[in-house]
Structure 1
Amino acid sequence: MSRSEPPLVSLCVPTYNGAPYLRETLSSALSQTYRPLEILIGDDGSTDETLHILTEFQELAERHGKTPVRIWPHRRDRPADNWNFLAAEARGVYLKYLFQDDVLHPDCVAKLVVLAETNDRLGLVFCRRSLQSAVPLPPDYVALYGDVSRGWHRLAAVQSGRDLLSDGGFWQEPANKIGEPTNVLLRRETFWRVGGFDRELVQLVDWDLWLRFLGQGWIGFVPEELAAFRVHDRQLSHTHTESGAAHLDLGKLYLKMLARYDFLPAAVQQETWVRLAAHLQSLHEEVQHLRHHSATAYDRLTATAAELARTQTQFTSEIALRDRHLQEAQAALTAAYATGQTLQTQLTDELTRLGAELAAIHTDRAQLGQQLQQMHTHLQTAAETLQAQAGAIAAYQAQLTAAQHQIAFMEASFFWKLRNRWFALKERLGMK
């Protein structure tokens, strides 16, 4: 098959309270080497930071400007409803689901599309995926659920899905030998032709859809680890196992396989009957066990209720005594509270008086400071005046000293002495 343009792939990410691992998951989506790609995210009413993380991611994708991202927050319903909703909104030739805990290798979509484009009949293409966990997984768990594709006896790159339904390893564990939606690429047209995800199931939703793809189309396989499936106790499958939903799902799927899946080989149908009978027997035994334990539990509850009644009678007087003591203590506390209120009022009044006195002291202090400042200014001015006068006196003193020196010099001179003698002679002669 050849196209003038590469086919659009719709990468669908259903979320619900997935904050712990969501950033890593979304980063792997945006890091895909394949284009054109659109990313569709449907959130099932998350109450943690999921929506905040999704908004950040959408803004980041817009800044890069290469991959459109659309987000739909809606009311929580069954998981399959969200998955089908994203498929209905998708525009791509292919659907590529990525669950909120998982991670895609950068070339995952590209390599799956390359194989899908080789044959129009290929409705489902899957690859190997690794297990990812924060803690070491038990070796027997890894051996069974690590590379689930090893469970097939005859697995080829391209083959009819009915060949795999007739595979000798079909009923060997693990039952789902394709994997989770994260490591699968689906042709959108085939997805809707086989009916999409069944909303009546909660745990075996993906395996049920894979069966319909096997019965009505061709399957492709890329023998590389191109995705990582995260194992942790918060994931949806773990919740369903604890709640018993997985146990009920198994019976529903067996009935569905027998009633609707006429494409199943006779050997598979026969084994399904055997497994359904064993499953119903197991459910019957579990119901009987629950009934027995319910009756025993009822007897224990009756005895416990009688013991509680006796205990209630025994402690009624003690409770009344404690109530009286509590009332007395409450009265004492009330009186102490009233005394405290009075003391608080007195303390408030005293603090008000002291505050007024302190304010007056602050006012007097401010006025005294102003007066001291004025005196300091006057003293500084007087000092400057005295300093100027002292300078003038020193100048006068210097001039006087110079004059005295001049006079002494003149008096010591010959001419001065001659003058004095002249004045003395004039005085003796009576001359004026």
Structure 2
Amino acid sequence: MKFSIVIPLYNKALYIKETLQSLVDQTKLPYEIIIVDDKSTDNSLHKVKTFFKNLPLHLKKIKVKIIELDKNNGIGYTRNSGFLAATGDVVSFLDADDLYTNDLIKAANVLMSSYSIDFLILGIQFFPSNEILPKINKIKNELTQISSVISVTSNAYCINEPLKLITSTNFYMGVGSNVMLRRTQGTAISFTEEPIIYEGIDYWYRVLRSVLTKGNSKVGLLMGAHLKVREVFGSASRKRYNNWSEIDYPPVLTRFKSSTDYYDKRLKRVVATRWINHALLSINSLNQKIIFILKYKVLFFKTLPYFLMHKLKK
């Protein structure tokens, strides 16, 4: 199988070389690397071009596409542009400050080709904290372990009821772009371009629902530290707010506001709970936190029991 890796790039000069190195160090090389530069104002793009210019000859077979946008359009637009440019069998997105371990593409290739998996979710290891998500002991009853074809796949699973699991409080999909997808399965769906909080959850949930309508599609989970997500101060998930109104409203809560679908409602609850928790941890002043709670008091009190229940289970 041919793997296309899409990297949205905006002012990641400190990290982009290491990210690219993690791709060319793969035991199975990517077929295609697509960089979409969102009008970076540092020297990120220069570092990308220099990196590929200096690649050893044996790595020149990797197709490289560099898309330079003429204005800053945001992460959703850059991901959509990259997906449209991809020509491989499998597409994944890799943030410009994150890393793949060198056996990831090989492991994904074995799993997706041998077990006809269309949608592969990757376990995440954050660094430097070393926290791993999801917590496998909390979801193991929802999984069927896949017999190893090669040793690296020993932590591979099929998800028994994908919509049930990915809308549970213990599962994480869309964090750190932790999905690999057969390209033909995602051509009709796009990332929302605004807002930019939990937009990955919104996108991959819609893609997954589309995949599952097409018959005997299988959804897999590859655990281990294959995707390393860098904890960067100032990123969307770690940003601090002086005013409650600076916090984006998750697209899931708008998109499925009136939905009566069982899984849509479960996802809304999970996202709302995480969002309120994130907001209250990220707003700097007590006064602004109180205003936020008053503004979203209905949502706050609806999710409070689930929030407390989740905390007690930890």
| TM-score between both structures, scaled by the size of structure 1 | 0.53
CA positional deviation for 1:96: 1.9
Equivalent residue in structure 2 for 1:103, among 86, 94, 99: 99
> Structure 1 residues 89 and 268 mapped into 2: Cα distance closer, same or farther (>3 Å)?
same
Q: How far apart are 1:28 and its partner, in Å? A: 0.5
Unaligned stretches of 5+ in structure 2? 145-156, 213-217, 278-289, 298-314
User: Matches of residues 62-141 of structure 1 in structure 2 within 5 Å?
Assistant: 63=57, 64-74=59-69, 75-120=71-116, 122-133=117-128, 137=129
Q: Which amino acid aligns with 1:230?
A: R
Match of 1:375 in 2: none
1:58 equivalent in alignment to 2:52: yes
**Amino acid in the other structure paired with 1:229:** V
Counterpart CA distance in 2 for 1:148 and 1:54 is: 32
- CA shift at 1:210, angstroms? 2.4
Whether contact under 8 Å (1:165, 1:265) holds in the other structure is: yes
- CA distance change for structure 1 residues 267 and 208 in 2, over 3 Å: closer, same or farther? closer
- Quote the residue 1:147 is aligned against: 133
Q: Which residue of 2 aligns with 1:40?
A: 34
CA–CA distance in 1 between the matches of 2:65 and 2:162? 36
Counterpart-to-counterpart distance in 2, 1:103 and 1:243 = 33
In 2, Cα distance between equivalents of 1:258 and 1:116: 34
Give the counterpart letter for 1:41 in structure 2. I
In structure 2, the partner of 1:249 is 249
> Which of 1 and 2 has greater Rg?
1
Structure 1 runs, 4 residues or longer, greater than 6 Å off: 240-243, 272-275
- Return closer, same or farther for 1:265/1:36 CA change in 2, 3 Å cut-off: closer
**1:150-184 Cα deviation digits (max 9, x unpaired):** 35351332235xx23324x84425x6356421x32
Of 25, 38, 55, the residue aligned with 1:31 is: 25
* Contact 2:36 2:82 (8 Å CA) reproduced: yes
Q: Which moved more, 1:84-93 or 1:230-239?
A: 230-239
Q: Distance in 2 between matches of 1:129 and 1:119?
A: 22
SS at match of 1:125: strand
Q: Which residue of 2 aligns with 1:416?
A: none
The C-alpha deviation readout for 1:184-234, integer Å capped at 9, x for no partner, is: 2111111224x1312233111111122223423231112222121100204
Paired residues of 1:203 and 1:246 also in contact (CA < 8 A): no
Of Structure 1 and Structure 2, the greater helix share is in 1
Quick check: which one's strand share is greater?
2
Amino acid paired to 1:48:
D
Asked whether the 8 Å contact 2:168–2:267 carries over to 1, the reply is no
Amino acid of the structure 1 residue aligned with 2:64: V
Work out which structure has the larger RCO, using CA pairs closer than 8 Å and 6 or more positions apart in sequence: 2
Distance 1:93 1:260 in 2: 33
Which stretches in structure 1 are left out of the alignment for 5+ residues?
Answer: 1-6, 289-432
Superposition deviation, residue 102 in structure 1: 0.6
Give me the TM-score of the superposition, normalised by structure 2: 0.71
Tell me the distance in 2 between the aligned counterparts of 1:104 and 1:272: 27
Q: Which amino acid aligns with 1:209?
A: Y
Relative distance call for 1:178 and 1:85 in structure 2 (3 A) is: closer
Tell me what 2:151 maps to.
none
Which residue in 1 is equivalent to 2:302? none
